[in-house]
Amino acid sequence: MVDLSVDFVGVKAANPFWLASGPPTDGKTKIERAFRAGWGGAVWKTLDAAPSAGDASAAFYRALHGGDRRVLALDGVERASDRDLALDLREIAEVKRAWPDRALIVSLAAPGDEESARRILAEIAATGCDGVELNFGCAPGARPAADAAARVEAATRWCKAATRMPALVKLAPLGDLVRRARAAKKGGADALTLIAAVDAIAGVDLDAMTPAGGVGGMGGPAVKPIALAAVASIAGDPEIAGLPIAAAGGVTTWRDAAEFIALGAGVAQVCSAAMTYGFRVVDELASGLTSFMAAEGYRRLDDFRGRAAANLVDGRRRERDRVLKAEIDQALCIQCGRCHVACEDAAYQAIFARVDGERRFVVNEAACVGCNLCALVCPIENCIKLVDKTEAARAAAE
């Protein structure tokens, strides 16, 4: 029997799928809809001790699409919650009372001074919520100055001095992430949330010659590799190892969540997928992760949490200890030639385009170094695979 339940910094939930702070967590109505759909927790949209006035254009989104109109990333320009603070606080208390078995964390724009931190944290704690997430990445004015290590340490220390609630620190993938994460731990952080949205411009309007909306915060599948690298860098740092991590950034499928957990994450925060597919996407996340764990013989998430982190290598520095060669399945090959063009123009000229006078794509093993580019550009899944030829190469060398 697979058990998806989590105990993250003392906060218990039925599953590791929590909504990240953002548009899907802006108020009681949305969060209760999410909890009815089956989400294990949610991070209330960012509150601000010194809120700026909201306006009708505060939220605006752009998307990066794939060729099939699949959303690869969402880019948004948005303020912290522009609702009345008293309303937010009242609704947080109401939701927690109605849903005591769900994790409810409140996102807070990193405060600029100790007094304002003390004041607003007292109000947040009074709601009965499970914890606070100090937002150093997505909140208005949070970058770049407020992302400095000294600022992170100070604000985290103020938070821990003002409340007994667990404090998560949310960081953007900017500059020296490890240094800022160490500062958060030194300040007393109970966990890290990695990563905040990535600064991005979705495109440029060539008719008006203007960037499409300016610089915004991007999330979604396109930023997942950045988030994975961030989680791995923290999990592998000896000074921070063991500090719990809430993964955020590109979690769209159960596999995405499983990958973050395998690198050491305790929970998976989701925003862009909920915005794209709605709250019911949690059904696929939970059922997919359950099926994976059952097939692999894992009963609890801890059975595979962090197992991939131990195998992390720096691909820029590792020595190749295996001999890999590409192999093209002729029964699957559609003769499109993309592998040949990619190899000729950007790799090692290791794919013949003609054999015995006929159009046929065959790997020249003598030139192939196993870079994998041909397999990546091939439109047919599993048509090109890397085959381990290490033993044959060693035998030939003897």
Positions marked catalytic: 138
Q: Which residues pair with 108 in a beta bridge?
A: 47, 134
| Residues 397, 391 contacting (CB under 8 angstroms) | no
Q: Whole-angstrom Cα distance, residue 96 to residue 106?
A: 11
Q: Whole-angstrom Cα distance, residue 350 to residue 370?
A: 10
How many other CB atoms sit within 10 Å of the CB of residue 167?
27
- Dihedral sign computed on CA atoms, order 195, 197, 198, 199: negative
- The DSSP secondary-structure symbol of 247 reads E
CB neighbour list of residue 322: distance below 8 Å, 6 or more residues apart:
370, 388, 390
CB neighbour list of residue 257: distance below 8 Å, 6 or more residues apart:
16, 17, 247, 251, 268, 285, 289
